[in-house]
Structure 1
């Protein structure tokens, strides 16, 4: 007779209960990562993979849209969640085929098409001993999309992605292509970084790249009250740390009372080869087994902290660590969706924010799956700036049922969390569900009104448009 351990049974049960969901979107419609924005559109236009052909095609599309009074939205991998890539009955530009890239090895600058995914860039750079300077946690996002939301990464004490952008070319609403940098068309440069596709079509981007390095894994278990002090001591004051993230315990038992600080130090050894294929199914099932399941949440925490002991001092390449795919946490339940929220809190209010959000999360009917913490340094480049000083980003992942009742609950929860963030001199991140009213949005982003005025300066007919703009303008 075969005896299976309780954790094994739990993981197998999670697998057995899953259904292969049909994510096929009906013809004439589009959606985004939220799976809650199914919208009828006029046309989806996939750009060609030839740079010259792209420019000709896009100019024709702009002309056609103006002649037919249609709006244009721009999409990459569509990981935003509030309709930022969607305009009802409009034209949707699919930029994913535009992924040409070229490396300037002398100046460490990568020129890359906006439709390329980060994983495309990593695989290309790995062969040349280089790595991306700043990028988000998953490599399955498009580079143009990441710039349009001005994402932040887990690179030690780094500003958002905007700081690694040297320049980009932009096709304006009149079809003219211009170069934008800190020196040339600098106002547009700031507006497009975190501008949600409202000022034109990003074509080619020049990014800083860094050396690919061998990194050794370290971690510390700690009380969240000590997180800031430990971060300063073990991360900021350690010149060898390259990548870092924190995590809070979210099981009912010891809820937000335990944390881990996970970091990777440079070591002088041979760099492991980047593996294209990774086996992640067990890891995914452990994660999915925590949905609406207290045992699963405790098991995941115990397994992750236990694996930390096993994998402590293990060596990885920087590119290997950056090349994680969103499939690591893929949700195959057709009745629910996973939704992100992010809050950026100054160091001085770190502990108070955790204290204030704790009862809100405990009393919510929405299932919390994860809280990751990242240090984000001040951003001096983007106009809609969420890191106006050095902050800690709290990245919250929820599982929400696709029901009207849960949608109402999520809206209530989000508003309470934004109020707590504002109370603690922080802000929230804009690429997610449109649950925050104009007043709170403008309290979080005091220059929002001027941002929307400048939108009309550069695009007076509001040709580039989306649900985010319609909601907040």
Structure 2
């Protein structure tokens, strides 16, 4: 529809890692992307319609039903069904990818430099080879800089699904080789050009766990993701301490990345309470009692490292946090539960997530 338009519009950001998520679900967990100077998704929402507990359709915006606007965005579906969303679009831009291999200790300064140079997106994908001194300390730093609108979008090198599966297999079996191959691929794409919206699309292999197990055998396992937030200046020390934690717990990280987020001052259950560095870990978790407990110990340890720095963690991914950790990172959480019961007194909208936290704080 925009093919003949001089100025085209697109999304500012989306969640990374996969594309087949609904807008309602993304809104309900207040996702973010790889923006270098962006707030979470709430900043890109103009309004939405909500089907509430009485079955009524109501409009929520910054001017209408403002409290519900802030509660439902990042409210995990507990205040109603998101029926439609009006997004704040941004002009599509052409971008050039700039790739380097850098040290984690340089990240705060390098992120600042890229922001000053008007780069729009970027992240740091670190080595997960726990046997190497580069573990969490060396990574692929990829950022995206606006270019002239008349520059062509050139033919691009892209990995096929089989290539991604092979990289994932190596992350399970030979993490040193996985990082070498991954970084070589990314360096080969330095200078490629993209559209700012379609560049955010991601490959995802929905049956990867079964295929990996067929190839390498072993006990049944899953990757459990977590996202930790710390002040940006604390990032190098945090990564060093995480390396010690994961090694001491014998926890295997299959993938990890560092991004940035700006402060969210609109959603009620805001996870971005400050301008943070966002550190994402995919940890290998065995489907045994001992394996689950080992994962829980590592996830709680990560949260403690964040708390010690005035940081936080993302509530979306797992339920291993202790009550005191939840409150330390999300001090408004009990009030959030109270407001859920105010707007939905019969608790029509429920989930495993909600029932877990309702029970966790039932006696407090």
Look at both structures and tell me which one has the larger radius of gyration over its CA atoms.
1
SS in 2 for 1:187: helix
Relative distance call for 1:320 and 1:350 in structure 2 (3 A) is: same
TM-fit CA distance, 1:318: 2.3
Structure 2 distance, partners of 1:280, 1:267, is 29
Q: Paired residue for 1:438?
A: 323
Picking from 56, 68, 77, the partner of 1:188 is 68
CA contact (8 A) 1:284 1:329 kept: no
| Partner residue in 2 for 1:139 | 19
Query: Which of 223, 226, 229 pairs up with 1:341?
Result: 226
Q: TM-score, normalised by structure 1?
A: 0.69
Deviation readout 1:203-233 (Å, 9 max, x if unpaired): 0000111222222111222221111011111
2:245 equivalent to 1:364: no
Structure 1 partner of 2:170: 289
In structure 1, how many angstroms separate the alpha carbons of the residues matched to 2:110 and 2:51? 46
Q: Is the CA contact (8 Å cut-off) linking 2:123 and 2:258 kept in structure 1? A: yes
Q: Any idea what SS the aligned residue of 1:190 has? A: helix
Give the SS at the match of 1:300: helix
CA distance in 1, matches of 2:206, 2:351: 29
Question: Of residues 229, 236, 239 in structure 1, which corresponds to 2:115?
Answer: 236
Q: Deviation per CA, 1:150-199, whole angstroms, max 9, x where unpaired?
A: 11110221011111011000011001111001111010000001100100
CA distance in 1, matches of 2:155, 2:191: 18
Q: CA deviation at 1:451?
A: 0.7
Counterpart residue number, 2:273: 388
2:182 matched to 1:304? yes
Q: Give the equivalent residue in structure 2 for 1:264.
A: 144
Give the length in aligned residue pairs.
345
Structure 1 residues without counterparts, runs of 5 or longer: 1-102, 106-123
Q: Tell whether 2:25 aligns with 1:176.
A: no
Contact (CA 8 Å) 1:284, 1:328: kept in 2 or not?
no
In the alignment, structure 2 segments of 5+ residues that lack a partner are 214-219, 359-364
RMSD: 2.4
**Given the two structures, how large is their TM-score scaled by the length of structure 2?**
0.89
How far does the alpha carbon of each residue in 1:365-407 deviate from its partner, in whole angstroms, 9 at most, with x for none?
A: 3321111001101111211111111001001012222222211
SS of 2:265 mapped into structure 1:
coil
Moved over 6 A (4+): none
What is the alpha-carbon distance in structure 2 between the residues aligned to residue 367 and residue 354 of structure 1?
A: 15
Q: Equivalents in 2 of 1:461, 1:328: separation in Å? A: 36
Alpha carbons 2:161, 2:203 under 8 Å: kept: no
2:161 pairs with one of 280, 295, 305: 280
Cα distance in 2 for residues equivalent to 1:339 and 1:455: 27
Structure 2 SS opposite 1:289: helix
Aligned to 1:469: 354
